[in-house]
Structure 1
Amino acid sequence: MIDLSQPIADGMMVYPGDPQVTMREALSLAVDGVAVCELHLGSHSGTHVDAPAHTVAGGRTIDEIPLERLSGEARVLRLADRVGPGHRIEAGELGLMGVGSLPAIVAIHTGWDRHFGGAAATNHPYLSRDAAELLWRLGMRVLVVDTLSPDQTGAPTADPGHDAPSGGGPVFPVHEVVLGGDGIIVENARGLGRLGERCRIGIFPLPLAGADGAPARVVAWPDEGC
């Protein structure tokens, strides 16, 4: 199996504004006879799943998503040689001309996982609304990215060519398309460059009751096309 997950570690990078990750020894073998680590982290730490409830009022929470939706055939779109810092990926750059349909799981390989934890991580490539809408029309329901977000980090208040939401807050067009359609987003995957164009991926989030997302172990099976 190929592990596509970022290890959870004390002080690891999180999306700007999210709770910091801390890990400390709560019990020790020497004193207590058992070792126990105390964790403090947000629901979107490390490699994690965004449930619809993350951005949709009344949307499904992470424990309401069947595991069957999070495992299966995946298509990997290789864009690492075509994107750079802050690159906005348009629909025509996805290489899907003539493609009639996609499997439910689609992974976007930008190679930006190499910057995770560094200053360049926040200036990652991101998808345009039109690109997300194309993926959705072709059948994608689970979007996996190797960046902090499929949207621009430090999002503007309006996506060019589209109206800003009421209230004037930041807009996340890819989240709107995917989570707004009851789909799922997986962020901060790593190692997508090790996969073939088609493979089988499994996504296993913590079953946090009523939560808007959860850290996840994401794996691929190399004997099934990867």
Structure 2
Amino acid sequence: MPADASRLVDLSHPIRDGMPVYPGDPGVSIGPALTVDADGVDVAGIRMGSHTGTHVDAPSHTVRGGRTMADVGLDELVGDAVVLRVPGLAEGEVYDWDRLEAHGSLPAQLPPIVLIDTGWARWFDDERRTRHPALAAEAAEELLRRGMRVLGVDTLSPDATAGGAAFPVHDAVLGSGRLIVENVANLDAVPDRVRVGFFPLRLAGDGAPVRAVAFLD
């Protein structure tokens, strides 16, 4: 293996027919549109929402007049990341700054990408996914003050999903022009400091599915 080679860890949930989506979002339908037998080629027809699977939220997702994906450069979605481990959370629990710092004080200047590993990715295909823990808005604001430009979570949302209509973390992060990545997978397979990249479909709207990758030396 070349000296500069890296091992890749896929941080994305696979996109598949009938997969789970955020409550109220368009369902995912993937089926044959053309076939080798009838048409000489296999082509799938795909129908899904812009926030399917592992995906990025552009500011316009919740901010009227906010940046769309057309305004987001790939350089914003690739960089050094810190993974904050927050194990043992209960269903619906709101975790605050003290929980983020449970394994040691965080530096005054954070890497541009912050990933939060609650362990909840294991429930992505279970109905418990909607009862995931949620980040406290004050903690999100402190992460922003310390230099975060992308917040990634392993849950449907950094805000509460079950019974919730408020989006305080979205308001804080997207309202400041930064980005959110939701449904990040396999964070248990990467170290606490890692370089990552989120590569979205080139859609011009409010969000896009991404192929999320960690680069391990």
TM-score in terms of structure 2 length: 0.93
CA distance in 2, matches of 1:154, 1:123: 5
Question: Out of 110, 120, 124, which is 1:116 matched to?
Answer: 124
Question: Out of 182, 191, 206, which is 1:212 matched to?
Answer: 206
TM-score in terms of structure 1 length: 0.90
Report how far residue 24 of structure 1 moved.
0.8
Contact map agreement 1:155 1:172 (CA 8 A) in 2: no
Number of the residue aligned with 2:10: 3
Question: Out of 109, 126, 136, which is 2:134 matched to?
Answer: 126
Number of the residue aligned with 2:177: 182
Gaps of 5+ in 1: 157-169
Question: For residues 9-158 of structure 1, what are the structure 2 equivalents within 5 Å?
Answer: 9-80=16-87, 82-95=88-101, 97=105, 99-154=107-162, 156=164
Change (3 A) 1:98 1:193: closer
- Which range moved further: 144-153 or 55-64? 55-64
Instruction: Describe the SS at the equivalent of 1:8.
Output: coil
Instruction: Describe the SS at the equivalent of 1:219.
Output: strand
CA distance in 2, matches of 1:142, 1:3: 18
Q: Structure 1, residues 167-222: CA drift from partner, whole Å, max 9, x if none?
A: xxx3200000100000000000100111111000000011112x100001000011
Instruction: Describe the SS at the equivalent of 2:12.
Output: coil
Letter matched to residue 90 of structure 1:
D
Instruction: Describe the SS at the equivalent of 1:201.
Output: strand
Number of the residue aligned with 2:5: none
Letter matched to residue 209 of structure 2:
P
Report how far residue 155 of structure 1 moved.
5.0
CA distance in 2, matches of 1:118, 1:57: 33
- Which range moved further: 182-191 or 55-64? 55-64
Task: Provide the aligned length of Structure 1 versus Structure 2.
Answer: 208
% identical aligned pairs: 51
Report how far residue 98 of structure 1 moved.
5.4
Report how far residue 145 of structure 1 moved.
0.5
Report how far residue 83 of structure 1 moved.
1.4
Report how far residue 97 of structure 1 moved.
3.2
Please give the root-mean-square deviation of Cα atoms over the aligned residues, in Å: 1.1
Contact map agreement 1:70 1:203 (CA 8 A) in 2: yes
CA distance in 1, matches of 2:30, 2:40: 19
Gaps of 5+ in 2: 1-7
Contact map agreement 1:155 1:171 (CA 8 A) in 2: no
Change (3 A) 1:65 1:92: same
Does residue 196 (structure 1) correspond to residue 191 (structure 2)? The answer is: yes
